[in-house]
Homo-oligomer: A and B are copies of this chain.
Amino acid sequence: QLNGNADPNANTFKILIATDNHVGYMEKDPIRGNDSFEAFEEILQLAQENEVDFVLLGGDLFHDNKPSRKCLHTTMTLLRQYCLGERPCQMEFLSDQNENFPNRFATVNYQDPNFNIGMPVFSIHGNHDDPSGDGSLCALDLLSVAGLVNYFGKQVEVDDISIKPILLQKGTSKLALYGLGNVRDERLHRTFQKKKVKMYRPQEDTNEWFNLMAIHQNRIAHGPTNFIPETFLDEFLNLILWGHEHECLIEPVRNSVQDFWITQPGSSVATSLCEGEAVPKHVGLLSISGSEFKLDRIRLKKVRPFVMDEVILKEVEGLRPTDQNMVNEFLQDKVAELITIAMNEWKELNPDVPEVEWPKPLVRLKVEYGGGFTTFNPQRFGQVFVNRVANPKDILLFYRKRASTIATAKKKSE
């Protein structure tokens, strides 16, 4: 037995990846107030169940730059509950902790003798929770000084950036973890173009490291310089965890120019009722062994269901623009149908949850009203669904199709 049961993960990093948890989002809403916290707790539970070596977050952990006391307290409670504990950490920490964590304690939490960390969390900041004000502190700095999170990727000088990786070794596997907290896109775009983003690589065994990077920027172009083209990133990287974009596109995509992979986990709570947020929410179980990686998606089951659909009224057979009741009835049927779809899917994911605990779904129906139809008050329309949907006031979104195509307006800040 002494030699017989070698740990199959002895040489494999197991990492739970997630991003854009936006804890505190709509925390005062009587229905949706706990959604962000519940999703974050589900993520921590998944990390614990899967016995990961660590959790890696891609920014926007907090929705508000100044989280409320309750939000901060709840988040700290969850981290204390899930991350502290006896479980030993099997990762050697090889880089200079003073460089990775330039604060008074300069220590990765799981190596601080005063904390018992069973599951370390590493996080960069996003645009929602970036450092500001006196002392350039962010909410993550509070979690950091409390020993609850290892906050990395803060930049002092955004026009001249040096990124020194966190170097971790587990068995024979070596992981270099690069982090770049959010910088305003235009500014970072310029810094990249000026070749002022320097990525440091370990001098020893330079080619033996798996290079993982966390970044929190626009990935989709919103203007000529208002995003970071993937190709700006160094080609020595193996995998990039891309935060900020809320659509779950967690399946790694290869960038053929640079020969690296990108995974975009997306947010764990819908912060707007748009197409991107309606994609089922996932987090990733990332395994890294030598130069190989594998990413298993894990569906977040408890997340409030969100369905979205679109109708073009003038294309509906038999619908008369002048018959307001008829239109109303048609839309009500459509919404009821969407509720059923949402709930059926949720119940399938959560077969053991009793009916009293079923959540009300988020429902968004986009209504193209060209062709003589008229808009009406969406709030009044929603009153019928008060007990059946989580967002009765804004189920319907009226719009007119433009000559070209529908611009699916993307929220500027995610």
Supposing A113-B86, A114-B115, A115-B115 touch, asked if A133 and B81 sit within 8 A by C-beta, the answer is no
Q: Which residues of B contact A147 (CB under 8 A)?
A: 80, 146
Quick check: is A163 within 8 A (CB to CB) of the other chain? no
The interface size of chain A toward B, counting residues with CB under 8 Å, comes to 33
Determine which of B80, B134, B146 lies in contact with A70 in the assembled complex, contact meaning CB atoms within 8 Å: B134
Quick check: is A105 within 8 A (CB to CB) of the other chain? yes
Supposing A77-B145, A80-B105, A142-B76 touch, asked if A70 and B135 sit within 8 A by C-beta, the answer is yes
**By the criterion CB–CB under 8 Å, are A73 and B142 in contact?**
yes
A residues 1-32 in Cβ contact with B at 8 Å:
27-28
A105 smallest CB distance to B (angstroms) = 7
**By the criterion CB–CB under 8 Å, are B133 and A70 in contact?**
yes
Determine which of B28, B68, B135, B145 lies in contact with A76 in the assembled complex, contact meaning CB atoms within 8 Å: B145
**By the criterion CB–CB under 8 Å, are A69 and B139 in contact?**
yes
Quick check: is A66 within 8 A (CB to CB) of the other chain? yes
**By the criterion CB–CB under 8 Å, are A141 and B73 in contact?**
yes
Q: Which residues of B contact A85 (CB under 8 A)?
A: 114
Q: Quick one: CB contact mask for A47-79 with B, threshold 8 Å, 1 for yes?
A: 000000000000000000010111011001100
Q: Which residues of B contact A138 (CB under 8 A)?
A: 69
Quick check: is A412 within 8 A (CB to CB) of the other chain? no
A residues 121-143 in Cβ contact with B at 8 Å:
133-135, 137-139, 141-142
A118 smallest CB distance to B (angstroms) = 8
Across the two chains, which residue of chain B brings its CB closest to A116?
B114
Q: Which residues of B contact A222 (CB under 8 A)?
A: none
Determine which of B72, B77, B146 lies in contact with A148 in the assembled complex, contact meaning CB atoms within 8 Å: B146
Quick check: is A411 within 8 A (CB to CB) of the other chain? no
**By the criterion CB–CB under 8 Å, are B70 and A69 in contact?**
no
Q: Which residues of B contact A139 (CB under 8 A)?
A: 69
**By the criterion CB–CB under 8 Å, are A135 and B73 in contact?**
yes
**A115, B68: Cα distance in complex, Å:** 25
Quick check: is A402 within 8 A (CB to CB) of the other chain? no
Quick check: is A367 within 8 A (CB to CB) of the other chain? no
Quick check: is A295 within 8 A (CB to CB) of the other chain? no
Quick check: is A84 within 8 A (CB to CB) of the other chain? yes
**A10, B235: Cα distance in complex, Å:** 64
Across the two chains, which residue of chain B brings its CB closest to A81?
B104
Determine which of B28, B69, B70, B137 lies in contact with A73 in the assembled complex, contact meaning CB atoms within 8 Å: B137
**A281, B68: Cα distance in complex, Å:** 34
**By the criterion CB–CB under 8 Å, are B84 and A114 in contact?**
yes
Q: Which residues of B contact A81 (CB under 8 A)?
A: 104
Q: Which residues of B contact A104 (CB under 8 A)?
A: 77, 81
- Can you list 22 pairs linking A and B with CB atoms under 8 Å apart? A27-B134, A68-B134, A69-B133, A69-B134, A69-B138, A69-B139, A70-B134, A70-B137, A72-B142, A73-B141, A73-B145, A76-B145, A76-B146, A77-B104, A77-B145, A80-B105, A80-B114, A80-B147, A81-B104, A84-B114, A113-B116, A115-B115
- Please give 12 more A-B residue pairs, beta carbons under 8 A apart, in addition to A76-B142, A146-B148: A69-B135, A69-B137, A69-B142, A70-B134, A70-B137, A72-B142, A73-B135, A73-B141, A77-B104, A77-B145, A80-B114, A84-B114
